[in-house]
Amino acid sequence: MYRDYYSDEEWGKIQQLAQTEETPFLVVLLDMIKTKFDEFRDSFPYAKIYYAVKANPGVEVLSLLRDLGSNFDIASVYELDKVLALGVSPERISFGNTIKKARHVREAYEKGVRLFVTDSEADVKILAKEAPGSKIFFRVLMEALTADWPLSRKFGCQPRMVTELVSQAADAGLEPFGISFHVGSQQREISAWDAAIAKANYLFEWMEEEHIHLKAMNMGGGFPADYLSKTNPLSVYAEEITRYIGLHFGDDTPEIYLEPGRGLVGEAGVLVSEVVLISKKSKTDLKRWVYTDVGKFSGLIETMDESIKYPVYTEKNGETGDVILAGPTCDSQDIMYEDFKYQLPMGLEIGDKVYWLSTGAYTTSYSSVEFNGFPPLKTYFV
């Protein structure tokens, strides 16, 4: 079933690597990213797409998106250097992190970046000093209660504070450019955008009364990848979101920016692992513990609180039973799924491959460097 998500040709490439290479590793299917990018562009023909580099910063992914004409949302000067090194011009880059050192803002400015996002008074001061005249998005706080991986609380500020920051920025010689928000990552409730766009529109009107004309709305990411919990296809998201924009802004639509991460690269990755050990805690234990050579510290951190439930596939058929899925390290937190009962074949054995589907986003970039001596998660791009 889930395995059908990938074509026979794609699956063939994955299996070939599985036979020859030491696990664990991620296989990234570049054609799937291209298809997704085209789908984003076709679904939102009016939007500028800024790929959120943090989702998968692989050079092959970045080069592909560069060639497809994508722009880039970066979170640090390190991501900036990586993107610039690929020949992307700084006009195609937005510094989206609201938390940044003054000297990094200066460095980005010196390297040509002129688009930043902010959500605090102190950061506006830094931007005014280190990146004078730059275009600024002001990020408004969102609840994100229905997102599987919320980004709320930490980012954005209350609407009233947004208006104060806009004025502060204008007075300090920055160019107030627009309102940004992020409805939470893996947002399955499309109506979250309705509320967010309404909030943004209200801020546009508020600023208009203060004679500041904002030009753009940055709708962030939040577009889902297919995991165990069902989501609507991107076309449905696009249809609804486009309707909300019309509903709230009428004919006076601002420039629209999108920053997909997960939705663009998530499905294009398959993490190949191997069963290291299968055990029971007593002879009569009904549950099997299945330990794989990949875990929370080597790429599967989004299984924290069992937030993201990846489809898991093995090549064994037949009757299945409950398992607890855990990683290989000496940390008791290194358990991926225990409450949610994954079912794996009763015939599963040590050495069998376990495939984690839809793992193209937030895996390699989150993998630890040397915990228990295990190396960071490798990637093969095919």
Ligand X SMILES: *Cc1c(COP(=O)(O)O)cnc(C)c1O
Hey, what amino acid is at 94?
S
Structure tokens at 201: 């529109």
**Which of 110, 141, 105, 135 has its CA nearest to residue 123?**
105
Between 178 and 263, name the residue whose CB sits nearer to ligand X.
Answer: 263
Query: Alpha-carbon distance 295 to 283, whole Å?
Result: 26
Q: Are 252 and 214 in contact (CB under 8 A)?
A: no
Instruction: Reply yes or no on whether 330 is catalytic.
Output: yes
Q: Are 147 and 186 in contact (CB under 8 A)?
A: yes
Least separation in angstroms between CB 118 and ligand X: 12
Residue listed under structure tokens 């700084």 = 90
User: Catalytic one among 330, 332, 339, 369?
Assistant: 330
Query: Alpha-carbon distance 235 to 40, whole Å?
Result: 9
Least separation in angstroms between CB 76 and ligand X: 11
Query: Alpha-carbon distance 42 to 184, whole Å?
Result: 23
Between 96 and 178, name the residue whose CB sits nearer to ligand X.
Answer: 96
Least separation in angstroms between CB 75 and ligand X: 7
For the residues of 15-35, what is the DSSP string, one character each?
HHHHHHSPSPEEEE-HHHHHH
Catalog residues that contact ligand X under the rule CB under 6 A.
52, 54-55, 73, 96, 182, 185, 220-223, 259-263
Phi/psi of residue 29, nearest 5 degrees:
-95, 100
Query: Alpha-carbon distance 217 to 346, whole Å?
Result: 51
Measure CA 295 to chain center. Answer: 19
Least separation in angstroms between CB 3 and ligand X: 24
Least separation in angstroms between CB 266 and ligand X: 8
Least separation in angstroms between CB 365 and ligand X: 11
Q: Are 200 and 276 in contact (CB under 8 A)?
A: no
Phi/psi of residue 314, nearest 5 degrees:
-130, 165
**Which of 11, 40, 4, 21 has its CA nearest to residue 270?**
11
| Closest CB to ligand X: residue number | 221
Q: Are 350 and 333 in contact (CB under 8 A)?
A: no
CA dihedral 17, 18, 21, 24 (to 10 degrees): 120
Between 99 and 346, name the residue whose CB sits nearer to ligand X.
Answer: 99
Neighbouring C-beta atoms of residue 143, cutoff 10 Å: 14
Least separation in angstroms between CB 307 and ligand X: 12
- Residues catalogued as catalytic: 330
